[in-house]
Amino acid sequence: MQTIEENFELSNVHTCCSIHLNMANVIEGESVTDRPALPREMEAFYYTGFGGPEVCEVGKLPLPGPPGPHQLLVKVHYASLNPADYQQRNGETKHLLKHKFPKVFGFDFSGDVMEIGDEVKDFKIGEE
């Protein structure tokens, strides 16, 4: 695994993540076991616990499980960091939100919809 100091080119990090439509928050899911069209791993920028830049890494993580009824699976092409990302990493939100580590950065991102939940009506597979 590379540390963030060794490789910090977010524009080149391609990752997939599930997002919850109501909160636009990254949701960690189960490992992928039976989806041959999608990879089993993703390249991600993530943190391994609360702290400063020393807890940040770029590396491979298991692809999140299938999206829930109101969720999407998105292949992220570009992501940016904003105050919400570093506040979560620093632990400022640990009393408000559940945190499961490793936690992928990226409240703000763009990408392609790869899968949709059964109840999703406003997005289609393949949309950006």
pLDDT of residue 37: 72
In a domain, 30, yes or no: yes
Q: What span, in angstroms and rounded, lies between the C-alpha atoms of 45 and 15?
A: 9
Residue 25: domain span: 2-116
Strands (E), the chain: 2-3, 15-20, 25-27, 41-47, 56-62, 71-80, 103-104, 108-116
Q: Tens digit of pLDDT for each residue in 31-87?
A: 344 444 788 899 999 999 999 999 999 999 999 889 999 999 999 999 999 999 999
SS3 state of residue 27: strand
Indicate the number of domains in the chain: 1
Q: Categorize the per-residue pLDDT at 20 as very low, low, confident or very high, splitting at 50, 70 and 90.
A: very low
pLDDT of residue 108: 92
In a domain, 124, yes or no: no
Reply yes or no on whether the pLDDT at 24 is more than 90: no
In a domain, 18, yes or no: yes
- Mean residue pLDDT across the chain: 77
